[in-house]
Amino acid sequence: MIYDKANEIRVCRAVASSFLVALSLASAAHAADNRKVVVVVWDGMRPDMVTEEQTPTLWKLRQEGVWFANHHSVYPTVTQVNGTAIAIGAYPDRTGLIGNREYRPAIRAEKIIDTAVQELVQKGDEISGGKYLALPTAAEQVRAAGRSAVVAGSKSIAQLHDRKAEWTSARRSELATVFAAAPMPPALREEAERRFGPLLVRPTDKNAERNAYTTRAMVELLWRDGVPDFSVLWLSEPDLTQHDTAPGSPESLAAIRSSDDNLATVLRVLETEKARESTDVLVVSDHGFSTITRAVDVPQFLAAAGLDPVIKFDEPPKAGQIMVAGNAGSTFFYVIGRDPAITRRLVETLQRSDFAGVIFAREKIEGTFELKTARLDREGAPDVIVAMRWSDGKNRFGVPGELVADATRAVGNGTHASFSPRDVHNTLVAAGPSFRRGANVTMPSGNIDIAPTVLHLLGIAPAEKLDGRVLSEALGDGKEDVSVVKTERLEARRSFGDEEWQQYLKTSRVGDTIYFDEGNGSFGRQ
């Protein structure tokens, strides 16, 4: 046999290369196995409110990690829709939830429902074979992979992140869950009440107290055996206070500081547990906020136009009636019997109004966009959706962003749910071993990208293809490539003699993921 030294060298190099690749893969898998991810949600936090003075903890985290300067909420820009988008990574047409308040006659025939009320969610699961949410959440997938996950929140949306967990919750009323945590069996709940006092459900309990209670329940009890692989902490501030006052009010600024204090508690415990260096922390808000300049009684407006709106059925529904579901800066309309003539009359009435911003319809109607344009077209969706009109005017505290809304809240108070850039653009900061340091990312990102990114960080393949994307430009040696961003302006018009309705919708796209930048409408002389 002839000795071939060159061939031996090639073989040795190939073996060494294979070994290094295997070692690299093993190292990556080991890193993912040891990686921990914490998502902290500041409900309703506007990105322009993140300042060194106002939010020192978040500001420092921003300097240490990545600031997403072009982050987006999913439309409708409400909590339940974005809570599920954050949890799942899909648009409303795939998650199964398109509003805070919807008409679902199979769950409750006589009136609209709040889509995060525990008993109604359970009924939705019962009648759908467990598909109230059509896709699994990140927390559920983490558990399915044999890893640990906990969720705690001071709003009912927390329960949608892992419906199969053993929850401890407290409610002041059907619509107000003020504490929820999972997995938290009775023994752990009893310990929570011994250590922190009774669950905070009294009307006199402050929002800051509830959020501090929830934060302590997570870091002192749910983390008692070590920091889990995945944690979600949902804080109700500054959302609740901005609703009761307005963005920029002294009360709302105090609420923002309370959320910053709770973030500081989370980071301090990570340090104490020696887990900070192995934990990626994402601080995100579900939506932005605007100030109400005018409150419209939408059912009364429709009735004056000769239509038959209802907000509750006292007798069996009749064809042609219109169930109206107010979602503050957006309103849903369900035409009983789906009469096309009634639907066209409804759309024409809205187009002639002085409050409609962007109108979507199930069917093609002149001067509207189809529901599928905003990824809202699913079984049981409304026949018509209107996003209310907005402007850049400033409120009494000098904060820009004004909005016409339904009559659920008073003029001068805060709300959201529209296509205003103040509602659509929200907060995201990410820091930790997986992320770049001191980076300012300008590429479009969105709440829909949180779940895909979390699963990627934990080394878990999604159970199904998601609509969101992994925010790779913010990771490690990731680089921005703004050339891949495609922008578009959609327009729709309808002429009424010498007057015209017109609406527009601006979008950005990265690959298959679409982000809604803003949209508005107007009616007047051509």
489-498: b (≥16 Cβ within 10 Å) or e: eeebebeeee
Determine contact, residues 503/520, Cβ cutoff 8 Å: yes
Instruction: Show me where the domains of the chain are located.
Output: 34-288+425-480, 292-416+486-525
- Reply yes or no on whether the pLDDT at 29 is more than 60: no
Q: How far apart are CA 311 and CA 288, in angstroms?
A: 27
Q: Check residue 109 and report its DSSP letter.
A: S
Angle at which helices 207-216 and 186-196 pack, to 10 degrees? 120
Contacting residues for 382 by C-beta, under 8 A, at least 6 apart: 98, 102, 103, 325, 332, 333, 334, 362, 371
Determine contact, residues 68/445, Cβ cutoff 8 Å: yes
Partners of residue 413 on adjacent β-strands: none
- Reply yes or no on whether the pLDDT at 205 is more than 80: no
pTM of this structure: 0.92
| pLDDT for residue 171 | 66
188-210: b (≥16 Cβ within 10 Å) or e: bbeebeeebeebbeeeebebbbb
- Reply yes or no on whether the pLDDT at 203 is more than 60: no
- Reply yes or no on whether the pLDDT at 361 is more than 80: yes
Q: What is the mean pLDDT of residues 247-270?
A: 98
Q: Check residue 222 and report its DSSP letter.
A: I
Confidence of residue 186 (pLDDT cuts 50, 70, 90): confident
Q: How far apart are CA 84 and CA 96, in angstroms?
A: 9
| pLDDT for residue 490 | 98
Residue whose entry in the numeric block shows the structure tokens 């429902």:
113
Q: What is the mean pLDDT of residues 202-223?
A: 86
Q: How far apart are CA 454 and CA 458, in angstroms?
A: 6
The string of pLDDT tens digits covering residues 102-158 is 999 999 999 999 999 989 999 999 999 999 999 999 999 999 999 999 999 999 999
Confidence of residue 338 (pLDDT cuts 50, 70, 90): very high
CATH number of 34-288+425-480: 3.40.720.10
Judged by phi (left if over 0) then psi (alpha if -120 to 50, else beta), residue 408 lies in alpha
Angle at 313 between CA 310 and CA 314, to 5 degrees: 125
Q: Which amino acid is at 281?
A: V
Confidence of residue 168 (pLDDT cuts 50, 70, 90): confident
Q: Check residue 355 and report its DSSP letter.
A: S
| pLDDT for residue 176 | 63
**Which range has the top average pLDDT, 25-34, 157-166, 185-194, 485-494?**
485-494
Name the least confident of 190-204, 384-398, 402-416. Answer: 190-204
